[in-house]
Amino acid sequence: MARCHYRRALICVCSPCIFLLVLFLFLGIMVCSNMNKTTRSIHFVASGSFKNKNFASMPKTFWKLHEEAFWNQLQLTLDRQFNPILNPQNAYMRFRSHAFYVSLMSRSFSEVTDLDPVRRKMEQLPLQMQDFVSHMKRRSYPVLIQPADMTCGAGAVDEKEPPLLLLAIKSTALNFENRQAIRQTWGQAGWVATRGMDGRPRQKVGGYIRRVFLLGKEYPRDSEWDISELLQEEGEQYGDILQWDFNDTFFNLTLKDVLFWNWFSRQCSKTRFVFKGDDDVFVNTVNMITYLHNQLEKPNAEHIMNEFMVGDVISAAFPNRVHQSKYFVPDSFYKGLYPTYAGGGGVVYSGQLAKRLHNISGRVHLFPIDVFVGMCMARLNAHPIHHSGFLTFDFPYNEDKEPCAYHTILLVHKRSPKQLIELWDKLSKSKNQCRFVSLRVSNKRKNTRIN
Ligand SMILES: *[C@@H]1O[C@H](CO)[C@@H](O)[C@H](O)[C@H]1NC(C)=O
Ligand SMILES: *[C@@H]1O[C@H](CO)[C@@H](O)[C@H](O)[C@H]1NC(C)=O
Ligand SMILES: *[C@@H]1O[C@H](CO)[C@@H](O)[C@H](O)[C@H]1NC(C)=O
């Protein structure tokens, strides 16, 4: 009798142990097999659908991305740090201090660059890429010029509510003319009214716009004079210059995103939306404000805003392997398709998302082109929305010749400063005539673009 009780107690105590042991073994085998497999399967599949949620994106378990290319390998070691099974404490401490990320990043860097085959591969990269690699660990650069009084861009006077839209425009020191044209046209700060169903402005319904230009540093060549003083004066006059102390090159452009998110999170916490784009685009500001206002009026707006990003969405793009292209990325640097991303010519996202991007960006190694934002989005498991009003590759055919063409868009790339001024004038003159045209809706979209 006593023996029997003893055995039952033993079973009671041990069966959960055995169950846990089996579970652990199973999980262990799963993790190991995922890490060691060297399959070359493609992770993103073009779906051919233009429903946003069907777009191919990165796998949710991002530690699965394992290929031999330099960037992939760097990212893999970083992602392992956030693997909830290997490092539960890292994975669940969702957003830790900056120093924590910096130390993990350097660790992954030294792990990878200590490998001989990787080092050899690095030496074969094009010079520009090598330069990128040798600086890619660094993300903090001093601010040289910024809007005075810690304001979130130009246009902060007499605002009666938090700004609706901050225009954050990538520019370079020498593009003074572009900035001036934008200030006079679509980039004017202040109150903008939305357009009602009848095509007329709804004076009381709209939002405040602010503006800031994002710049790196231009180093004078012998033949040129130093324009940093002029830029300083420009900043004082307009209050819309935000400049950091890094060489303003094409491969350093993603630094502008990372540093901007940091600045935004500190300075602009109440701003509802951010437009981030180039200084050679034309934006139909009234349409933009109207479109954004409509998003805020949706019943589940709060929820939508958590991951709201809209633009010309490109999914499952191949890296560009053409040596002469400025987008060239060799396969020794990056392998696989790119995650879904919105073309960098111009994109709009919520302030809430900007803050989340700021946090997650510490877990993603810098990438030389604007796919970087898509990589951060993938890690937030957030999906950009495609809108055909973003013409980052200009109008199809000759559609811009139609009298109301510019009333149907949110943005078009690319236009010179002179064209911006002409277009702005034309837009205002044809306001009445084009009152009833509505925003473009797409009937087709390209899924794969080499970029
Ligand atoms: C980026 O800027 C840093 C700081 O000025 C510079 O050292 C580096 O060469 C730049 N990187 C590229 C790829 O131009
Ligand atoms: C900045 O980058 C350009 C282009 O890569 C390069 O020619 C120039 O020497 C760099 N300047 C500095 C000061 O690093
Ligand atoms: C970002 O991280 C900071 C701490 O580093 C945290 O206080 C903040 O709530 C986070 N923001 C978001 C939007 O997750």
Q: Higher model confidence: residue 136 or residue 30? A: 136
Q: What is the pLDDT of residues 143-164, one digit of tens each?
A: 999 998 888 999 888 889 999 9
CA–centroid distance, residue 419 to ligand 1 (Å) = 32
Residue 245 is predicted with a pLDDT of 97
What Å distances lie between residue 279 and 157, 167, 175, 314, 412, CA to CA? 24, 11, 8, 21, 11
Residue 3 is predicted with a pLDDT of 56
Q: Where are the alpha helices (DSSP H) in 190-251?
A: 228-238
pTM score, two decimals? 0.85
CA–centroid distance, residue 391 to ligand 3 (Å) = 33
CA–centroid distance, residue 213 to ligand 1 (Å) = 19
Q: How far apart are CA 444 and CA 451, in angstroms?
A: 19
> Angle at CA 436, nearest 5°, toward 434 and 440?
90
| 234 Rama class: left (phi>0) / alpha (psi -120 to 50) / beta | alpha
Percent of the chain with pLDDT strictly greater than 70: 86
Reported as a pLDDT band with limits 50, 70 and 90, residue 32 is: low
Pocket residues: Cβ below 6 A from ligand 2? 219, 247, 249
Nearest protein Cα to ligand 2, atom 13: 219
Residue 411 is predicted with a pLDDT of 97
Whether pLDDT at 99 is above 90:
no
Do strands 341-350 and 273-278 pair parallel, antiparallel, or not at all (unpaired)?
antiparallel
Amino acid letter, residue 88 = P
Please identify, by atom number, the ligand 2 atom nearest to the C-alpha of residue 251. 5
**Contact residues for 20 (Cβ-Cβ < 8 A; gap 6+):** none
Judged by DSSP in three states, 168 sits in: strand
The CA-to-CA distance between both ends of the chain, in Å, stands at: 78
CB of 359 shorter than 6 A to ligand 3 = yes
User: How many CB atoms neighbour CB 262 within 10 A?
Assistant: 16
Reported as a pLDDT band with limits 50, 70 and 90, residue 65 is: low
Q: Which residue has the tokens 């205002």?
A: 428
Q: Which residue in 269, 161, 178 sits closest to 215, CA to CA? A: 178
CB of 265 shorter than 6 A to ligand 3 = no
Whether pLDDT at 263 is above 60:
yes
CB of 431 shorter than 6 A to ligand 1 = no
Nearest protein Cα to ligand 1, atom 10: 247
Counting ligands in written order, which one lies closest to the CA of residue 216? 1
Whether pLDDT at 45 is above 50:
no
CA–centroid distance, residue 389 to ligand 3 (Å) = 32
Reported as a pLDDT band with limits 50, 70 and 90, residue 448 is: very low
Q: Where are the alpha helices (DSSP H) in 219-306?
A: 228-238, 253-267, 285-296, 301-305
Q: How far apart are CA 433 and CA 88, in angstroms?
A: 61
CB of 335 shorter than 6 A to ligand 3 = no
Range(s) of the chain covered by CATH 3.90.550.50? 143-447
Helix (H) or strand (E) holding 413: strand 411-413
Q: How far apart are CA 426 and CA 264, in angstroms?
A: 34
CA–centroid distance, residue 327 to ligand 2 (Å) = 18
CA–centroid distance, residue 260 to ligand 1 (Å) = 17
CA–centroid distance, residue 367 to ligand 2 (Å) = 18
Counting ligand 3 atoms within 8 A of each CB, the residue from 268, 270, 355 with the most, and so the one to mutate, is 355
Q: What is the mean pLDDT of residues 185-190?
A: 97
Residue 233 is predicted with a pLDDT of 97
Counting ligands in written order, which one lies closest to the CA of residue 250? 1
Residue 97 is predicted with a pLDDT of 84
Counting ligands in written order, which one lies closest to the CA of residue 134? 1
Nearest protein Cα to ligand 3, atom 1: 359
CB of 186 shorter than 6 A to ligand 1 = no
The mean pLDDT of the chain is 85
Do strands 241-247 and 201-217 pair parallel, antiparallel, or not at all (unpaired)?
parallel
Q: What is the mean pLDDT of residues 401-420?
A: 95
Q: Higher model confidence: residue 409 or residue 197? A: 409
Whether pLDDT at 222 is above 80:
no
CA–centroid distance, residue 250 to ligand 1 (Å) = 10
Q: Which residue has the tokens 């399967």?
A: 41
Q: Where are the alpha helices (DSSP H) in 309-436?
A: 351-360, 371-380, 417-429
Please identify, by atom number, the ligand 1 atom nearest to the C-alpha of residue 251. 13
Q: How far apart are CA 160 and CA 156, in angstroms?
A: 10
Phi, psi of 21 (to 5 degrees): -60, -45
Q: What is the mean pLDDT of residues 183-207?
A: 93
Reported as a pLDDT band with limits 50, 70 and 90, residue 67 is: low
Q: What is the mean pLDDT of residues 323-352?
A: 91
CA–centroid distance, residue 359 to ligand 3 (Å) = 6
Torsion of CA 136, 140, 143, 144, to 10 degrees: -50
Whether pLDDT at 187 is above 50:
yes
Reported as a pLDDT band with limits 50, 70 and 90, residue 36 is: very low
Q: Which residue has the tokens 């045209």?
A: 437
The answer to whether 210 touches 189, Cβ cutoff 8 Å, is: yes
| 321 Rama class: left (phi>0) / alpha (psi -120 to 50) / beta | alpha
Percent of the chain with pLDDT strictly greater than 90: 56
Helix (H) or strand (E) holding 190: strand 190-195
Of 57-71, 260-274, 317-331, least confident by mean pLDDT is 57-71
Q: Which residue in 451, 18, 412, 438 sits closest to 185, CA to CA? A: 412
Please identify, by atom number, the ligand 1 atom nearest to the C-alpha of residue 129. 13
CB of 95 shorter than 6 A to ligand 3 = yes
Please identify, by atom number, the ligand 2 atom nearest to the C-alpha of residue 128. 5
Amino acid letter, residue 424 = W
CA–centroid distance, residue 238 to ligand 2 (Å) = 28
Kindly tell me the sign of the dihedral angle through the C-alpha atoms of 44, 307, 304, 276.
negative
CATH topology of domain 143-447: Spore Coat Polysaccharide Biosynthesis Protein SpsA; Chain A (3.90.550)
Phi, psi of 398 (to 5 degrees): -110, 30
Residue 291 is predicted with a pLDDT of 96
What Å distances lie between residue 137 and 34, 101, 181, 344, CA to CA? 27, 11, 36, 22
CA–centroid distance, residue 244 to ligand 1 (Å) = 12
Residue 347 is predicted with a pLDDT of 97
The answer to whether 239 touches 232, Cβ cutoff 8 Å, is: no
Q: Which residue in 174, 177, 181, 205 sits closest to 191, CA to CA? A: 205
Longest dimension (CA), the chain: 101
